[in-house]
Structure formats: C-alpha cells, structure tokens
Amino acid sequence: MFSKILIANRAEIACRVIRSARRLGIGTVAVYSEADEGALHARMADEACAIGPAAAAESYLNVDALLRAIAETGADAVHPGYGFLSESAAFAEALAAEGIAFIGPPPDAIAAMGDKIAARRIAANAGVAIIPGTEDAVDDIDEAARAAREIGYPVMLKAAAGGGGKGMRLVWDEAGLREGMASAINEATAAFGDGRVFVERFIEDPRHVEIQVLADGAGTVVHLGERECSIQRRHQKVIEEAPSPLLDEATRAAMGAQACALAKAVGYRSAGTVEFVADQSRNFYFLEMNTRLQVEHPITEMVAGIDLVEQQIRIAAGEPLAFAQEDVARRGWAMECRIYAEDPVRGFVPSIGHLSRYREPAETESVRVDAGVDEGSEISMFYDPMIAKLVTHGPDRTAAIAAMRDALDRYEIRGVAHNAGFLNAVLGRARFAEGRLSTAFIEEEFGAGFDPAVLDDEARRVLVAVAALVHARLAARAARISGQVAGAPPLRHTGDWMVDLGRSRHAVRLDEDGDGGGIVVAGEDGAVPVASDWQPHERLFSGTVVGTPVTVQVERQGTALALRWRGHEVRARVRTPRAAKLAAQMPAKAALDLSRFLLSPMPGLVVALPAAEGDTVRAGQPLAIVDAMKMENVLRAERDGRIVAVRVQVGDSLAADQVIMEFAADE
C-alpha cells in the first residue's frame, strides 16, 4: 500500500480523496495555485505545495510543477481526481517514467477512450451499440454539412478529444451547423488543445444513463449499476440519481454487460464510467467512456455501499477486487444535486465572490455533503463554479427526493448567487416526481426562465404563516424592551395585519394558539396554525404549518424579511392595515435606462469582439464572446442599432454588469 498520495487537483474532489486516504492510513499532499492559497483542500491535507499562478495552465495543468511537488514531498502515488489531468495519458506516462503510481487506468486505455472517434470504433468491435455518425473527424464545414445531410438532422457536433459539454453543439439545420461548428472547434481547442470534431445523430427526447465499472489488474471487471444524469443544462449535469427510473432489470443487465465488455476490450484498470444515451423506449447507445472518477460517484457509493476512491487506491496498489459481480447489491435510492455559484434568475451566469456565510445541512445516514469550501472561501473566476455536491439517500425514490428538498432548504449560502433554490424547484416539478426525464427537461420546464418570486398556493400559505409568526416573535420581544416612550400605545403582536409577500398582499388576523405554542393565521386560506420555537437570532425557521414540518430560511433586511423555501424566495413585510395603506401610496423608484448598453452578464474574459465601433448591427448578430469558467458565451444584439463606443478589448477581464459597448440613442 502507498505511504503518501499527492492529489493533483483542488476543491471538493481533493477533499474527497483526502478523506478516503486518511481512512486507509495514507498520508496526503495537496497542491494549490496562487488563487487557492489557504483553500480548504490545502488545509485538510497533511502537506501542501504551491504549484503556480491562478491560471490552470500554469498550475493544475502544469506537469513539470506537479512532478517537482512529487519529488519535494516524496509522494509515491498520484490521484488526479476529475478534470484537469485526470484523463491525460501523457501525465500518466510521465509519472510512470518517474516510478510514481497513477491512481487511474493505464495510459493506453486513457488514450483509446479519450479519442471519441477511436472509442466509437472500439465499442462497435466489442459489441456495444453505437449512434450513427461519422467514422472520422470532419475537416471543414462543407464536409460536416455533407455528413449531416446523410445522417439526417438534428445532429450533434462533438469534440473528438473532450467531454463535460465542452465543444458540443446541437444543430437542427445547415445554417445552425455552419455557425455552431466554429464555436465547437474554438471551445474544444481551448479546453483540450484539440479542435477536431465529429458529427453524430441526435437522439430526440434523450436520457443520459451511465454505468459505473471497476476493473482490477487481474482482469476482473464488475459494474455497480447505473446512474441517471438526464437533468442537464448546456450539456452539464445538474441532478443525478441512482438507480435510473427508466431502466428495467433486463435493460440494466444488458447495459452493464456492454459496459464491462468495453472495459475488457481496452484492458481497463481502476474505476471508470461508460455513458449511454437512451430513448424513452429503453433503446440505448454508447456515448463515451470517462476514464476517471465521475463527479456524481457518491450516489453509486450510497446505493452500492462501496467506497470508489478506496477501490481506486487498492487497485492501483495491485490488489484484486475483493468481490464479484454477484456480490454487488443495490440499497435504496440516492440523489445528488450540484450546488453551483451561478444566478438562475439571470440565465445562470457564473457568480464569484466571498462566501460570507456558509452553513451545510447536518450530515446523517441519509444526507452527505461533499464540499471544497467553508465559510470565508473565495469563489474564483479561474475554475469550475461548483461549491459542493449534496447527496441524499432513502429507501425509495420518493424518500430520496423528500430528503433532498429538506436538505436544500437547510443549506445556507451568502455572498454569491447560487442555484440551490432552482434545484429545489426542479425537484418539485410533477414531471420530475413521475420520473419523466430527458436532457431537455430544464429547457422545457423552465423555458421562460426561473422566477423564485412566483408562488403557488402552498408556498403562499406557508410563507404568509411563517412571516406572521416571525413578526409576532419580533414584536413580542420589542414590547419587552425597557425604556419605552411614556404614553405611547403598547406594542402588539396579535390582531389584524397586512402581509406583503413579494408581489402580493394578504390581510390576516393573528391569534395566540394555546395548544400549539404558536399562532393561528386567519386569512384567505382559513385558519392556519403555525408553530415553532424560532427565536429572533436564528436564520432557520423550523416548525410546522397546518401540522406539516417546514424549514424556511429567514434573513432580516431592515424592516423586511427575506424568506427562502422550496425554491421560492420573497421579501415579506408585516404591517398594520394603516401602515400598509400609507406604504402603497409611496412613489415607485424609476429604473435606470440601460437599453443603450451591452453589459457583461457575468465575470469573464473577452475572447472576441465580432462587431466594432461604428458598425450597424442587426438583432441576433454576435457582438462579443466572453469566456466564463471554461465556457464560451456569445452575446448578441437584442435589436437593430449602431455601435458608438466599444469600452473593452480582447483579453480584458470583465466584472458582472460591466459595459462592453454603447449604442446610439434611438433617432
């Protein structure tokens, strides 16, 4: 067994590897860039080494810097995590040349599966079903157009060297192909240093299902069942679950057998994932093989009861698998939500900044948090915007979803925008509960965008009741403060009140509830008893509304209360009827007219400026391309106009809402 492992990665996955290594009694070395100095993973490890500037190319992708760190610390093995160099055959070969174990598959297996075109050929020869597409990379747009016409639209442009949504474009016609191919090539080149793309038929209404495999050095290959990863945005997974609500036992067995056959065909060793695309009738086709640990590996661990990182380490140390296929059993259901620093209200633009408050839900047998941050951490523009992975487990799918929604309600994050509320809203959709998933789920269910201030009847009833009880507790405390003005009317916390809940107003009457230790809110929903032991210093309201347990995040903002629950977020004010009437007469503040400016919707780097000062542009025309957290974003003109000033240059770093261009006023 190894004595010391260096983790060639950062954040959440580095912390995850450290935990398993520590259980095995193995020392750990973290590496960090200038942007990650003092980061959680660097503090958790037994040792930590600086490896370079913030840019990944100069630190986490710098093989020479990593080899120096290995030599300095005396590490005898390297775990690459996922991303960065985890699927670099050259890195694995460089380690082997230095006598350092790579905790991953052999370099030739990485190379074979890393080239998506070669992987398709190997899969077909191994008897794995593949999607119709080009045999080789397409050299130019005309060749791609000819191939697409033969395959039939819609088609998917895919990077030959990549994954994770980089260099992928779904196109529905030739015009879209000609525009999308340039972006796919640019994105693939930037992400993988390889701009080759190929064309593949797009399976309509598809689902993304993958099989986890483990293979040891003795030739034993087993699979641990499947994960459903269909809830995606821009080809990036958002919510995953195990098992899949789509598969039956026959399909599961067939998919698992094909995954194992592919692993054997390439002489695989370590943990790996074979990804499939499936239609709603359970027909499935090979997508790619990820020769590394997957982000979503915890749900398989929860269901199979097997520590995948531990297995990777043991296999790399030469140990055979201690179990056979017939020993693998599924236990219940698991869900994973990826908590990202992004703003769903503004089209999911990345968010950077300081985590001024960070409180995870308590870990239990059914709740697990894999995080790479703690309170005070910085979310940087240089890396992936993931904050943490929240994982829940239950005896069945319904229980796993319920545990996840409750855990999301208890997850407190301040200082950056995040997607926890959006994830809760996704889980609350009836279609999700029914298991009717596809990779287009988010686009179809949230096509008009995400507005957390829109309340359904249940949310309105709960949040009115919680706002009323919180107000009653605050008013009762205020009434007990000494030094009250002589002759002033006594402060009250019951009686008639108006609750302004975001965009709606609700007349209620509050009465003490002697039985429940709370109050009864009488209004449009009838008598609603609400009970809690909440106190004014607390940010989590835990109690019951009409006997149903609820957890609502409560944050005082001046005279208002910011309430967050089940994906809803509103500002509430509780006033006397007279105060509410007077407040309604206050003039509304006029919004600034920003229609003449192109603003950066996110922090990022200016990659290109297709339009210049003095140009007349048409609606839909590309104006700027901004790279944000490893993804290219094309900013387009909303309407026809003339550019009078360009305020940035290619290579400039942008802040959110920074002015990029100014247009002429309407004439």
Q: What is the pLDDT of residues 408-420, one digit of tens each?
A: 999 999 999 999 9
Give the whole-angstrom CA distance, residue 178 versus residue 375. Answer: 46
State residue 4's pLDDT score: 98
* CB contact at 8 A, 397 and 433: no
**235-239, 396-400, 610-614, 625-629 — most confident range:** 396-400
Instruction: Establish if 590 belongs to a structural domain.
Output: no
**What per-residue confidence (pLDDT) applies to 515?**
64
DSSP string, 67-115: HHHHHHHT-SEEE--SSTTTT-HHHHHHHHHTT-EESS--HHHHHHHHS
pTM (2 d.p.): 0.87
Look at 140 and 95; give whichever has higher pLDDT.
Answer: 95
- Split at pLDDT 50, 70, 90, the class of 315 is very high
Residues 309 and 374 in one domain: no
What is the pLDDT confidence band of residue 516, given thresholds at 50, 70 and 90?
low
pLDDT at 280 over 60: yes
* pLDDT range class, residue 360, cuts 50, 70, 90: very high
Measured torsion, CA atoms of residues 138, 144, 149, 151, in degrees rounded to the nearest 10: 40
523: pLDDT strictly greater than 90? yes
pLDDT at 488: 64
- Same domain membership, residue 349 and residue 282: no
- Boundary-marking domain end, from 561, 584, 607: 584
Which H or E element spans position 150? helix 141-151
Taking residues 421-438, report their average pLDDT.
98
Q: How far apart are CA 468 and CA 462, in angstroms?
A: 10
- Nearest CA-CA partner of 569 in 451, 651, 658, 449: 451
Contact status, residue 443 vs residue 508, Cβ threshold 8 Å: no
Q: How many CB atoms lie within 10 A of CB 605?
A: 16
- Amino acid identity for residue 81 in this structure: G
Cα distances (Å, whole numbers) of residue 539 to 117, 411, 536, 554: 52, 11, 8, 5
386 pLDDT above the threshold of 90? yes
Q: Which of 288, 342, 569, 632 is catalytic?
A: 288
Is residue 397 assigned to a domain?
yes
What pLDDT is stored for residue 163 in this prediction?
A: 66
- Which of 318-327, 563-572, 583-592 bottoms out in mean pLDDT, i.e. has the lowest? 583-592
Picking from 562, 584, 606, the residue at the C-terminal end of a domain is 584
Residue 290: both structure tokens together: 């990820």
Residues 338 and 289 in one domain: no
When pLDDT is averaged across residues 643-650 and rounded to a whole number, the result is: 94
Average pLDDT, stretch 568-584? 92
DSSP 239-304: EEEES-SS--HHHHHHHHHHHHHHHHHTT--EEEEEEEEE-TTS-EEEEEEE-S--TTHHHHHHHH
In the chain, the percentage of residues whose pLDDT exceeds 70 is: 97
92 plus 118 within the same structural domain: no
pLDDT of residue 137: 85
Q: Which domain holds residue 512?
A: 457-480+490-584
The model's confidence at residue 489, banded by pLDDT at 50, 70 and 90, is low
Instruction: Provide the 8-state DSSP code for 372.
Output: S
Note the pLDDT of residue 420.
Answer: 98
The Cα 254–Cα 221 span in angstroms is: 15
Angle at 393 between CA 387 and CA 399, to 5 degrees: 115
Predicted pLDDT at 258: 98
Give the CA dihedral 264, 268, 270, 271, nearest 10 degrees: -70
Mean pLDDT score of the chain: 93
Q: Which of 159-163, 199-203, 259-263, 621-625 has the lowest mean pLDDT?
A: 159-163
Give mean pLDDT, residues 312-332.
Answer: 97
CA 373, 314, 32: angle at the middle one, nearest 5? Answer: 30
- Cis peptide bond upstream of 243, omega within 30: yes
Instruction: Establish if 138 belongs to a structural domain.
Output: yes
CATH number at residue 218: 3.30.470.20
370, 298 contact by CB (below 8 A): yes
> Is 366 a member of any domain?
yes
Give the model's pLDDT for residue 639: 87
Both 75 and 187 in one domain: the answer is no
* Cα separation, 652 vs 605, whole angstroms: 6
Top-confidence residue, 109 or 132: 109
N residues, the chain: 667
Examine residue 414 and state whether it is found in any structural domain, yes or no. yes
Q: State whether 337 and 429 are in the same domain.
A: yes
Q: Which amino acid is located at 658 in the chain?
A: Q
Task: Specify the pLDDT at position 586.
Answer: 86
Residue 144 included in any domain = yes
Judge if 265 and 174 occupy the same domain: no
Contact present, 416 and 353 (Cβ < 8 Å)? yes
Distance CA 168, CA 175 (A): 16
Contacting residues for 286 by C-beta, under 8 A, at least 6 apart: 119, 120, 123, 128, 129, 130, 131, 258, 262, 274, 275, 276
**pLDDT, average across residues 605-609:** 92
Among residues 515, 504, 542, 509, which one has the least CA distance to residue 527? Answer: 509
Is 167 in contact with 199 (CB distance < 8 Å)?
no
Q: Integer distance in angstroms from the first to the last C-alpha of the chain?
A: 75
> What number of CA atoms fall less than 13 Å from residue 639's CA on the CB side?
7
Number of H helices and number of E strands within the chain?
Answer: 17, 38
CATH number at residue 608: 2.40.50.100
Same domain, residue pair 271 and 292:
yes
**According to the model, what pLDDT value does residue 164 have?**
65
Given a cut of 80, is residue 490 above it in pLDDT?
A: no
Please, which residues bridge with residue 274 across strands?
211, 289
| Torsion angles phi and psi, residue 181, rounded to 5 | -65, -40
Q: Residue 226, Cβ neighbours under 10 Å: how many?
A: 29
pLDDT over 90 at 64, yes or no: yes
CB 292 within 8 A of CB 210: no
In this prediction, what percent of the chain has a pLDDT beyond 90? 75
pLDDT tens string 432-480:
999 999 999 999 999 999 999 999 999 999 999 999 999 999 988 887 7
pLDDT at 165 over 80: no
| pLDDT band with cut points at 50, 70 and 90 for residue 194 | confident
Say whether pLDDT at 603 is over 90: no
User: Do 373 and 440 reside in the same domain of the chain?
Assistant: yes
Q: Which two tokens stand for residue 131?
A: 């999607």
SS3 447: coil
- In angstroms, the CA 82 to CA 66 distance is 16
At 475 the pLDDT is 87
Structure tokens given for 189? 């080149």
Residue 536 sits at the vertex; the CA angle it makes with 530 and 542, to the nearest 5 degrees, is 40
pLDDT at site 514: 63
Question: Quick check: is 8 in a domain?
Answer: yes
Instruction: Note the pLDDT of residue 417.
Output: 95
Catalytic site includes residue 288: yes
Residues 420 and 537 grouped into a single domain: no
Kindly state the helix (H) or strand (E) to which residue 198 belongs, with its residue range: strand 197-201
* Beta-sheet strand order (sheet of 207-215): 284-290, 270-278, 207-215, 221-233, 236-242, 333-340, 386-394, 367-371
* 121 and 269, same domain (yes or no): yes
Q: H/E element holding 465?
A: helix 457-479
> Does the N-terminal peptide bond of residue 154 adopt cis geometry, omega within 30 degrees of 0?
yes
Count of domains observed in the chain: 6
Same domain, 440 and 548: no
The pairing of beta strand 495-501 with beta strand 568-575: antiparallel
Does residue 451 lie within any of the structural domains? no
Residues in a beta bridge with 604: 654
